[in-house]
Amino acid sequence: MPDVTPDATPHATPDERPDSGPSAELVHLSLDGAVATITLDSPHNRNALSRQLVAELADRLERSEADPDVRVVVVTSADRVFCSGADLSEASADGMSVGVQAIVGLQRYVVGMSKPVVAVVRGPVRAGGIGIVAACDIVLSAEEATFALTEVKLGLAPAVISLTVLPRLTSRAAAYACLSGAAFTGAEAVAMGLVTRAVPAADLDAAAAELCAELATGAPQGLRETKALLARDLLDRIDARADEMAELSARLFASDEAREAMTAFLTRPRTPRA
């Protein structure tokens, strides 16, 4: 499988390693005082949005929301890649009619949570993964991390993730990113509106700890009511357009053009890892 580099197609393919099966937990939850950290840890497909990963991520978010001691929720990755996008092996085999609904629900849940959700991005984010990032309230990224909305290269469109991504990006940035599929860095993503703050990779953990400590000083009621104010328009947008975007995404994934492109990607020679 090719590495997720700035010019790579965003979606993940299966790895042939014997420990890459789906039986192990793919999303971890840890608690440290008022901060819940949710860690994506599916290295065999670079944290692709498989059914298992999406279900586990939803469960960890729900557990964090229900915990009265938690005031801040962090979503991050165990490895360098934050998320490589849709799981193309599942999409190619089973279609995406169910998967897109799950991704819509995941985005809506993050936006509607009563606690601030912080994405801490260490490395590449592609396609559907950007929808998860955009749903978060605050995004802290390594300057060197790369983002790309490369659906257009596979005959697709960023349909369901447009529900959260387009309101974050400036209109000019959205047009360029979605139509070109080009990669942009964490530092560039700040000016585009997707990322709140970008720091050197070596400073990311310290910056995340400082940010979470600052957010955790908020009173639960203050955090809850302020989040509701901030999320109102975005929730309205998701509720008004979710079905339309889910139908569009499922239709495009099922199209002959997209299936041909996905098959070509899944069967192309893999680049050896260093």
Q: What is the pLDDT of residue 7?
A: 37
Residue type, 141: S
Q: Is 238 helix (H, G, I), strand (E, B) or coil?
A: helix
204: its two tokens: 């990311």
Contacts of 219 by beta carbon, 8 Å cutoff, 6+ apart: none
Question: For the segment 119-158, what is each residue's pLDDT rounded down to a tens digit?
Answer: 999 999 999 999 999 999 999 999 999 999 999 999 999 9
pLDDT for residue 223: 98
Asked if 36 and 74 count as a contact pair (C-beta separation under 8 A), the reply is yes
How, if at all, do strands 72-77 and 117-121 pair?
parallel
Q: How far apart are CA 206 and CA 202, in angstroms?
A: 8
Q: Are 111 and 155 in contact (CB under 8 A)?
A: no
- Closest by Cα among 139, 206, 137, 131 to 166: 131
**Residue 267: its pLDDT value, please?**
78
Query: Which of 10, 7, 19 is CA-nearest to residue 43?
Result: 19
pLDDT at site 263: 83
**Domain limits of the chain?**
27-202+220-267
Closest CA to 122 of 161, 75, 166, 169: 75
Q: Catalytic pick from 56, 90, 143, 151?
A: 151
Q: 55-92, pLDDT tens digit by residue?
A: 999 999 999 999 999 999 999 999 999 999 988 777 65
Q: Is residue 151 annotated as a catalytic residue, yes or no?
A: yes
Q: Which fold, 27-202+220-267?
A: 2-enoyl-CoA Hydratase; Chain A, domain 1 (3.90.226)
Rounded CA-CA distance 211/120 in Å is 11
22 Cβ contact list (under 8 Å, min separation 6): 50, 52
Q: Are strands 184-185 and 146-148 parallel, antiparallel or unpaired?
A: antiparallel
pLDDT for 198 equals 98
**pLDDT per residue over 165-206, tens digit each?**
999 999 999 999 999 999 999 999 999 999 999 999 999 999
CB 193 within 8 A of CB 170: yes
Distant-in-sequence, close-in-space partners of 259: CB < 8 Å, separation ≥ 6: 92, 253
- The 3-state DSSP class for residue 27 equals strand
The beta strands (E) that lie in 188-244 are given as 197-199
